[in-house]
Structure 1
Amino acid sequence: MLSVLICSKVFSRPQTITALAARHGIDHAVRSADSGEEALTMLVTRPAEVVVLDAAVALSCGAAFLARMRATWPRTAIIVMGVDGPHLTAQAVDAGARGVFGTGDHADELVSALVCSMLANWPRPSVPAQRPAASEYGTMPTERELGVLRAMSDGLSNAEIARLLFLSEDTVKSHARRLYRKLGVRDRAHAVAAGFRTGMLL
C-alpha cells in the first residue's frame, strides 16, 4: 500500500491529512516528521512513495534539502506546500518536486484531498508483507540500527550513512557492531543478506 510521509513546521497540516485519511480507514499509511533530519531518518528506515514537505523545510538552503532527498529517493513523489511566489515555485520544480502548492486559504485542503485520493486508489498487495516481531537470531534491531541496515543495503559507506543520518562516523560504526551482534553476522554483506532473509529489508 502507498505510504505517505509529511514533514511540516505548520502544526495543522499533518493533522489535516491524517484526519482525512482516517475517514477512509487509511490513516495507518500516513506518518509525520517534525524536522527535515527526522524525515530523512524515517525514510531510511522505511521509504515512502509520497513525501509532503513544508516549503520552509524543502527550500531551506536554496532547495538543497529537496534536491538531496530527490537524489537519494528518485522514485519518491515529493509535494511541496506553502510556496510563496513564482521564484520559489521554480526552485522547487527545478529541485525535483512533483507538485507545488501556494499559501492560499485552501492549500491544506487541496493537498489533503490529493494525498487521500492517491491513498484510496493505490493498488494494494494481495498478501501484505509483514515485518517480523524479532530477529531469528535474538533481539530486534532498533529503528536507528534498521536505518543503518537499510543504508548498507543501498551500498552506502559508513561516511555516507553518517551524513545521511546526521551522525558521526564512529556512531554509525557502533550501530553497525550492535547490529551484527543481534543478527549473528560477521560483516555488512552478511547483515544485508540476513535483513532480506528475515524480512527486515523488504
Structure 2
Amino acid sequence: MELSRGGVDVVLIDAALAVPDPVKFTRSVRTRFPSAGLLFTGAANPQMAAALAAAGALGVMRAVNGGDDLLVAFTHAVVLARQRLKNTTAPAKRQRPRPAAAVLSDREFQILTGLTEGKRNAEIAGDLLVSEDTVKTHAKGLYRKLGARDRAHAVAIAFRTGLVA
C-alpha cells in the first residue's frame, strides 16, 4: 500500500470502506501520516462530514450518477494544491536584510554616491548645485532609512548590500 510507504499526498476513500468508524480511521491516518490529506467520497450525512472534517479530513464529496471522472479530476487538483502549499511554506533561507534602492529618494541616492566616493559635504553640494545644509539634511534622511549610525556606516551598508558598486 502506497500510504504505508509515506509517498501519498492525498487519500481518496469511499466513506463506506472506512468501516466500522470513518472518524477513527481518519485520526489514525492523520496521526501516522500527518502530511497526507484524506478526502472521502460517497454518501455521508452532514453530521458525519463535520465529524470527519473535525478529525482532519479534507472533506467529503458526493459522487452522483457516475461522477468518478469528476472525483479523479478534483483529487488531482487537491494533490497539486497541496504540493504547491508544501513548496511555499518551506522555511526560507535567512539572509541579511537588504535596504532597497527604492527606499532612498533620487537626491539621497546621489548624496550616498558622493559619500561612497569619499567626497566631503561641500564637494557633494557643489556637484549637485545645492547648499551644504541641504546635503546634510538629505544625508540624515538616508542614514535613518539605511539604519546607519554615521557616514562611514552608511557607506559600509551601501557597499555590503550592493546598493552601490
Shared fold per TM-score greater than 0.5: no
TM score, norm. by length of structure 2: 0.42
TM score, norm. by length of structure 1: 0.35
Larger radius of gyration between Structure 1 and Structure 2: 2
> Which structure: greater helix fraction?
2
Higher relative contact order (CA 8 A, sep 6+): 1
